[in-house]
């Protein structure tokens, strides 16, 4: 049985091109703990979720690229010989990936691609990475280019840098491609070595609460944070040349060499502590101590809000509202920040009541709607049967 979204996509494709395409799916992601650590060469703990982007694709006989977004009801046409950033925001994530294939000397031909999905946009669930990874995976299969999964994720990341202008780390693309059902990925963002850790939540579920604040500020502030971390590394590196990223730094070093600059100090302190918190949190998960993991998630939120300063009043409000709720083991803002979702570990039997109460309170206090999702952990990028 095809999901409604797949049915809509395939019939949409056939209305435009009247042929039968191949279909690929790439999911959004959650991250349990380890935020803003990826571009500091640290660890992250993401997982792919049951919300995904789908692309229906087919080769063309010529070198045209014809794209259609069901969501935006918008078409893009271009030529393989002149792939550049367009004025269509949605198309740029696809074109950015095509550009990476060409840059690496691969020769995809012309193609038709129709896209749709149910990853909410701007909600911190990595809809853009899902588009990039679905495209990268699809073109690799369609043109039998033989590129490995790690390289596909890296190409998708580069597409984000060059066509969306966000100097993101590798977490989102890696999670989308490498996701494994009911597991989180402990990823070392320096070596790209990874380990799957079973996510056993014993009566608890991952509840995502979308503030419905779109994180539009995020790209510029995101790049600024990255730069601030690099400044911190440079300050430490003068004394410890072996320190090439905050992954290599200790709190002693941060205290000794970065305190002179108060802002950079807070940024570096958060990252170094978060990396340790993640490693310990991952051990908590392996031991089945999700209480301890949950407590760390609250500490991560405090760090992101007060030291790294990537939260917003709506995210702070939602985390504050559940902090002393005995049915919530942990909560924090998730992803790049400035909006999007909080991730909450909530006792399954308490979810309905909690969502009801919080939705009412949130709309009263923040004058916005709250959108809840229960995240299930799924496989990464795949080809789907039609
Ligand atoms: C965004 C980026 C990721 C990561 C997170 C913060 O999602 O795309 O690379 O840096 O923010 O952890």
Q: pLDDT of 314-337, one tens digit each? A: 999 999 999 999 999 999 999 999
Q: How many angstroms does the Cα of residue 239 sit away from the middle of ligand 1? A: 29
pLDDT in tens, 201-234: 999 999 999 999 987 655 789 999 999 999 999 9
Closest ligand 1 atom number to CA of residue 129: 8
pLDDT in tens, 258-285: 999 999 999 999 999 999 999 999 999 9
Give the neighbor-by-neighbor strand order of the sheet with 371-375.
328-333, 341-347, 204-210, 371-375
Cβ neighbours around 364 below 10 Å, total: 8
Q: What ranges make up the beta strands (E) of the chain?
A: 22-31, 43-44, 46-59, 64-69, 74-79, 111-117, 183-188, 194-198, 204-210, 328-333, 341-347, 371-375, 382-384
Angle between helices 290-302 and 262-287 (to 10 degrees): 170
**Residue 107: strand, helix, or coil:** coil
Question: For a pLDDT cut of 90, what percent of the chain falls above it?
Answer: 95
* Residue 102 to residue 81: CA distance in whole angstroms: 9
Q: Is 61 exposed, middle or buried (0-12, 13-18, 19+ CB in 10 A)?
A: exposed
Q: Residue 111: is its pLDDT beyond 80?
A: yes
pLDDT of residue 214: 86
Q: How many angstroms does the Cα of residue 386 sit away from the middle of ligand 1? A: 32
pLDDT in tens, 25-75: 999 999 999 999 999 999 999 999 999 999 999 999 999 999 999 999 999
38 CB near ligand 1 (under 6 Å): yes
337 CB near ligand 1 (under 6 Å): no
Given ligand 1 and candidates 31, 171, 271, which is best to mutate, with the most ligand atoms within 8 Å of its CB?
Answer: 171
Q: Report, as an integer, the average pLDDT of 346-364.
A: 98
Average pLDDT, the chain: 96
Q: Specify the residue for token string 């925001």.
A: 89
pLDDT band (50, 70, 90) for residue 2? confident
Q: Residue 172: is its pLDDT beyond 70?
A: yes
172 CB near ligand 1 (under 6 Å): yes
Q: Report, as an integer, the average pLDDT of 120-135.
A: 95
Contact call for residues 119 and 126 (beta carbons, < 8 A): yes
Q: How many angstroms does the Cα of residue 37 sit away from the middle of ligand 1? A: 8
pLDDT of residue 220: 84
All residues at 6 or more sequence positions from 294 whose CB lies less than 8 Å from its CB, including other chains: 328, 329, 330, 331, 345
Q: How many angstroms does the Cα of residue 36 sit away from the middle of ligand 1? A: 6
Q: Residue 127: is its pLDDT beyond 70?
A: yes
Q: Residue 339: is its pLDDT beyond 70?
A: yes
Residues annotated as catalytic are: 172
* Residue 383 to residue 363: CA distance in whole angstroms: 40
Q: Is 232 exposed, middle or buried (0-12, 13-18, 19+ CB in 10 A)?
A: buried
Closest ligand 1 atom number to CA of residue 160: 8
């Amino acid at each position: 049985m095809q999901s409604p979204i797949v049915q809509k996509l395939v019939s949409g494709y056939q209305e435009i091109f009247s042929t039968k395409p191949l279909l690929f799916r790439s999911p959004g992601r959650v991250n349990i703990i380890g935020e803003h650590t990826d571009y500091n060469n640290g660890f992250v703990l993401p997982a792919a979720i049951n919300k995904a982007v789908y692309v229906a694709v087919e080769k063309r006989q010529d070198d045209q690229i014809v794209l259609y977004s069901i969501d935006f009801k918008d078409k893009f046409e271009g030529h393989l010989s002149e792939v550049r950033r367009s004025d269509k925001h949605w198309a740029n994530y696809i074109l950015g990936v095509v550009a990476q294939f060409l840059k690496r000397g691969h020769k995809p031909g012309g193609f038709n691609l129709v896209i749709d999905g149910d990853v909410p946009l701007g909600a911190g669930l990595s809809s853009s990475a899902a588009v990039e990874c679905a495209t990268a995976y699809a073109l690799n299969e369609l043109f039998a280019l033989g590129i490995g999964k790690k390289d596909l994720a890296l190409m998708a990341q580069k597409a984000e840098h060059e066509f969306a202008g966000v100097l993101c780390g590798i977490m989102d693309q890696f999670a989308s491609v490498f996701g494994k059902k009911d597991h989180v990925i402990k990823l070392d963002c320096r070596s790209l070595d990874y380990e799957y850790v079973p996510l056993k939540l014993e009566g608890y579920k991952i509840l995502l609460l979308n503030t419905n604040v779109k994180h539009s500020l995020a790209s510029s502030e995101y790049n600024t944070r990255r730069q601030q971390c690099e400044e911190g590394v440079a300050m430490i590196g003068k004394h410890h040349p072996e320190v090439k990223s905050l992954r290599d730094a200790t709190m002693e070093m941060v205290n000794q060499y970065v305190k002179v600059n108060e802002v950079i100090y807070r940024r570096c302190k958060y990252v170094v502590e978060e990396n340790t918190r993640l490693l310990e949190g991952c051990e908590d998960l392996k031991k089945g101590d999700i209480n301890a993991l949950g407590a760390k998630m609250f500490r991560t939120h405090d760090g992101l809000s007060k030291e790294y300063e990537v939260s917003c009043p709506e995210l702070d409000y939602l985390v504050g509202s559940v902090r002393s709720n005995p049915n919530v083991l942990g909560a924090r803002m998730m992803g790049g920040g400035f909006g999007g979702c909080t991730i909450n570990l909530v006792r399954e039997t308490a979810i309905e009541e909690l969502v009801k109460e919080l939705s009412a309170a949130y709309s009263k206090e923040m004058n916005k709607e709250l959108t809840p999702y229960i995240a299930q952990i799924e496989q990464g990028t795949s080809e789907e049967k039609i």
